[in-house]
Every structure is written in structure tokens, then in C-alpha cells.
Amino acid sequence: MDKPFSQACENNKRPILDVLKRAFANSKQVLEIGSGTGQHASYFSAHLPHLLWQTSDQVHYHDGINAWVSESSLPNLSKPIAYTVGVDSFPEGSFDGVFSANTAHIMQKDEVELLMKSVMNHLPKGGVFCQYGPFTQAGAFSSASNEEFHKSLVERGYGGYRDIDDLLSWAPNLTLSEQISMPANNMMLVWTKS
């Protein structure tokens, strides 16, 4: 099978890695929620050899993820677990880190709320959740293009952008320790389990 490819993943992988190197410096096992094409998992696990990187996503993405995992042949990169928020129970494992990129604006509001609560409940004290993507702050969009993209997502039946205030309210035991501006009007939210 030809490996799936996302230009967005290619464009943002280095800036994301710069954050993950610091945020996951003391982590041992990371669960990636929504591994998508598998590109991020392949790239990050190669550059973060101290981490065991567990991919996960809906089953129809697994062939593509497995193509990247197989080609990478990395001892710290695992084949995907079937995980759909709201359908499957949270993946089992000793995860002290969670990473998710560009998932919150695709999911429905109740699914994002469940995601935040699930991560909060399953991370150990001091565990880290790195959440990448576009968000609103106090209801405001960071750019006109973000507002247009949000509207197009909603029109197509996706959940659209989530507000950081909502995320905070859904996960009271997660502390938003860093809020980093990223390329293309995205953000990296670094949460720590308190």
C-alpha cells in the first residue's frame, strides 16, 4: 500500500517536535490520539527515542498508519490501537503522556468534552497532554481565515473550533501550563495533570 501523505503534517512536524522535546522530556510512554496518516508518529518517535509511542485511531485509518510504522521499523513505535472517542473505551497502557493533533475541531462538542475528561482521568499525576490545532480564545478567532475554516467545518457536519475556556471547564484536574502560538494560526496547548 502507498503510504498516505498530508502536506499539513509535513509542514508542522518540526515546530511541533520542538515543543514535544521539552514537554515530553520526562515522559516514558505516549499515546497519540488520532494518528491520521501516521506521518507524525513516524517522525516524532524517530526523534524522541526515549519514548514508547503508541498510535491510535479509527480502524479505517489503520492500514495507512501501519504502512508508516512498518517502513519506519522503529523499536519505540507501536501499531495502532482502535480508538474512537465515545465508542471505544480509553486505550489501556501506562501512558504518562498524550498527544493529539488536529482532532478537536473535527469532533463534535460532546466528544471533545469526553476526550478531555478521559485524558484527565487516565493520566497519572504529573502526566502531560500536548494538544495541537486551531482553537478560539474567549470566543474570538485568531484570524479571519480561521473563522472561515470553522464555518466550513460546521457546514460539512464537523464540530468546528473549540474554545480554550470550554476545554478548561471540562478538565478541572488538568492545568494549562503552556499555550504556544504555532504556524498557520494553530496553537499547542500543554496540559499537566495536577
Q: 67-92: per-residue pLDDT in tens?
A: 999 999 999 999 999 999 999 999 99
Strand 162-163, strand 135-136: pairing: parallel
Question: Which residue matches cell numbers 508518529?
Answer: 41
Residues 27, 178, 125, 128, CA torsion sign: negative
Q: What is the pLDDT of residue 50?
A: 98
Contacts of 78 (CB under 8 A, 6+ apart): 52, 53, 54, 55, 69
Question: pLDDT at residue 98 above 90?
Answer: yes
Q: Please report the pLDDT score of residue 2 as a whole number.
A: 83
Say how far apart CA 61 and CA 38 lie, in whole Å.
Answer: 9
CA distance 32 to 25: 16
Per DSSP, the three-state class of 143 is coil
Write down all domains in the chain, each with its CATH number in brackets.
7-193 (3.40.50.150)
Whether residue 1 has pLDDT greater than 70: no
Fill in the amino acid letter for 122: H
Rg (CA), the chain: 16
pLDDT digits (tens, 9 = 90+) for 16-27: 999 999 999 999
**Backbone torsion region of residue 52, taken as left when φ is above 0, otherwise alpha when ψ lies between -120 and 50, otherwise beta:** beta
